Homo-oligomer: A and B are copies of this chain.
């Protein structure tokens, strides 16, 4: 009866909303473009190097969030109003500003190269995967942009009169300045722009090379350069100091901190001018080769259509039925967001800049990936890739191992060939271990193991990955030496990494290592304070830090021992030893009380990685699994929406989106490095994952869900591969072999 009833409802839902549209039509690129989601509605290919993003975060007090007047990390904010061009190559979902430069702006009227003056209000925004368009009110110009993997194609429809294209090489999100540009012909420019210094790491600097072409010969063209400020007596004979100087008669190399190219046109009414730009992190020649290879013989519409189709093919790896249209949109947009970073780095000829090196190497097969925000993505994004896009994940692992080959170290937060050392821990380890233990092969695991062990055992003096490794190895913890040294956070990351490393050591037959690293991973117990029933910083003398306020650190205020969070956000952050932690806390009851209090008292931060697996930890304890199910639905409903505010905070290069994807599908990899998932109740009625049969043995995993009532979220029964399933965790191998997963919710 119940089953029948559920079937009725299921049928009813299908009738009211059957997804006739393609997955690509269910992406809303504006999700996450406000509320600090830091995603953007720009045009990009799946895992593409190029993105073309409407840049609306500088030059005006009218902007709600303007990089000229506050810390700002993303090229676009939904509620901003002042558009200053399209930025080429951008980061999605990150909290530090970088790249987002090569700003191309169409304008009309008298030539003006000051972005504060040429910027424009806009309207009629349209965004879909691979396409963005708006209308610039001030200039009467319709803009449309699309992208291939490494190139941009832009189409501007001008009104009659004096029109211009401005390529601004002085501004952008990156804190690094300096650029060079040269006219190759009246319709082609080539150049280089320095970028980097991400999150204050001043040495992670890299050049982006570009070639830009227009399809109409300008009437005239030139450069501009903001002249250096001159003070004191010098000011007298530098009348143009601090001003934009136009170079109307000079067309050789231009270089400087704040330079640009202008092109002047006389346009007829509705005249269309197209601009193409190729980029490369290797050379100008490669940028040109990329442009030639990817756009040869193709017009704007062809490129936009091809990119649209690529997205649809990738998104169609997961088909969904049921749920509201908003939920479907949230799901496919999350899937879209997980396919942005890491992105490919190599040029069409295979060349890429070697990690931390001047060398240029060649990728002979597969892709070289870049933009590894590993402290974020090791938790779930790579697990998602492993399951749904295993070949990409394999290439990502191979890229990480190659970085070790090239630089001597596995990556931590790699950005276009440079290590930024952002955040902490040793996150490559769980990413690679997780893959290996799930059975993804095709890379040199022994070399990877050597690399991991190097990071784990090298003296801190010559160890860029683990800056406080000595005390950690010696004492099993890191003490608080400086008020805000994030010591506990560092150690917690090392425990997780070492636990994963221990699993790999065991799998590879290195028994002694396995024991060593397992023991290390249990070192978190040092931090356990019976007084607070929490983790608590330890002073160099071995005593706990006092006075201790577990709430200090909320809202990103500095907190002794903890990075971007407080003790609540970190206390349960030992995914590899949940039962051990529960024992320390006095047993299951106390553990559940403490964990539930995090949610009840508002100490859960849905934007903060260390605690995002908390909802799933209830399921380690029999009878408490419903809490996971209720919470995941509540959190999805509260924080994930079909709106610009639809992400709880920084997407963290897809980590938040991957959280939503797993949670909506009914399983979550809460212990990175352990090839297993915690089960929860899915959002959709039917989810079909098209698996890589060569990799996982089956080409499909169908997850069906039946509800006793529309609001039912608690799991009553489960079946795996047609057999009843009572556990609330499932091994990866069981999942991919299952063929079907059935949930009956009450």
Contacts and interface: CB of A to CB of B under 8 A. Distances in A.
A364 interface: no
A205 interface: yes
A580 to B, nearest CB: 41
A356 interface: yes
A255 B252 contact: no
Interface string A346-373: 0000000100101000000000000000
B358 A255 contact: no
Given A175-B238, A202-B240, A233-B69, A253 B180 contact: yes
B203 A256 contact: no
Nearest to A97: B237
A194 B251 CA distance: 12
Contacts of A256: 177-178, 194, 255-257
B203 A69 contact: no
Contacts of A236: 71
Interface stretch (A108-116, A224-232, A328-336): A224-232
A249 B201 CA distance: 11
Given A232-B69, A255-B179, A257-B257, A249 B203 contact: yes
Contacts of A353: 252
Task: Pick the most buried of A68, A180, A206, A358: most chain B CB atoms within 10 A of its CB.
Answer: A180
Contact of A203 (B71, B205, B247): B247
Contacts of A202: 240, 245, 247
A532 interface: no
Nearest to A229: B229
Interface string A171-205: 00001011110010000000010101000001101
Given A69-B234, A229-B229, A258-B228, A252 B178 contact: no
Contact of A253 (B192, B225, B254): B192
A456 interface: no
A634 interface: no
B179 A358 contact: no
Interface in A243-281: 245, 247-259
Contacts of A234: 68-69
Contact of A178 (B69, B175, B183, B255): B255
A575 interface: no
Contact of A358 (B196, B237, B252): B252
A70 interface: yes
A250 B240 CA distance: 32
Nearest to A419: B249
Contacts of A247: 202-203, 205
Interface range for A = 35 or more
Contact of A70 (B206, B233, B248, B251): B233
Nearest to A281: B252
B238 A358 contact: no
Contacts of A257: 228, 256-258
A669 interface: no
A68 B228 CA distance: 14
A42 interface: no
A422 to B, nearest CB: 15
A464 to B, nearest CB: 11
Contacts of A649: none
Nearest to A238: B175
A255 to B, nearest CB: 4
A232 B69 CA distance: 7
A207 B252 contact: yes
Chain B CB within 10 Å, residue with most, of A194, A207, A250, A251:
A250
A184 to B, nearest CB: 10
Contact of A251 (B245, B255, B358): B358
Contacts of A207: 252-253
Contact of A192 (B69, B232, B255): B255
Contact of A252 (B206, B240, B254, B258): B206
A206 B254 CA distance: 9
Interface string A706-717: 000000000000
Contacts of A251: 358
Contacts of A253: 180, 192, 194, 207
Given A249-B203, A255-B192, A358 B183 contact: yes
Q: Most chain-B CB neighbours within 10 Å: which of A183, A205, A229, A259?
A: A205
A704 to B, nearest CB: 50
A33 to B, nearest CB: 22
Chain B CB within 10 A, most for which of A68, A202, A233: A202
A620 B170 CA distance: 63
Contacts of A249: 203, 356
A18 to B, nearest CB: 50
A203 B251 CA distance: 10
A225 B178 contact: yes
Contacts of A250: 196, 203, 205-206
A226 to B, nearest CB: 9
A202 B194 CA distance: 26
A230 to B, nearest CB: 9
A71 B245 CA distance: 21
Interface string A210-238: 00000000000000010111001110111
A421 to B, nearest CB: 11
Contacts of A254: 178, 194
Contacts of A237: 71
A237 B198 CA distance: 12
Contacts of A203: 247-250
Contacts of A71: 236-237
A645 to B, nearest CB: 25
A369 B355 CA distance: 47
Given A71-B237, A249-B356, A255-B256, 18 more contacts: A68-B232, A69-B233, A69-B234, A177-B225, A178-B225, A180-B192, A180-B255, A183-B358, A192-B255, A194-B255, A196-B250, A202-B245, A203-B247, A203-B250, A207-B252, A207-B253, A229-B229, A251-B358
25 contacts: A68-B233, A69-B233, A69-B234, A70-B233, A177-B225, A177-B256, A178-B255, A180-B180, A180-B192, A180-B253, A183-B358, A192-B253, A192-B255, A202-B240, A202-B247, A203-B248, A203-B250, A205-B247, A205-B250, A206-B252, A228-B257, A229-B229, A252-B353, A257-B257, A257-B258
Interface of A: 68-71, 175, 177-180, 183, 192, 194, 196, 202-203, 205-207, 225, 227-229, 232-234, 236-238, 240, 245, 247-259, 353, 356, 358
Report the 5 A-B pairs with minimum CB-CB distance, sorted nearest first. Answer: A178-B256, A178-B255, A203-B249, A257-B257, A205-B250
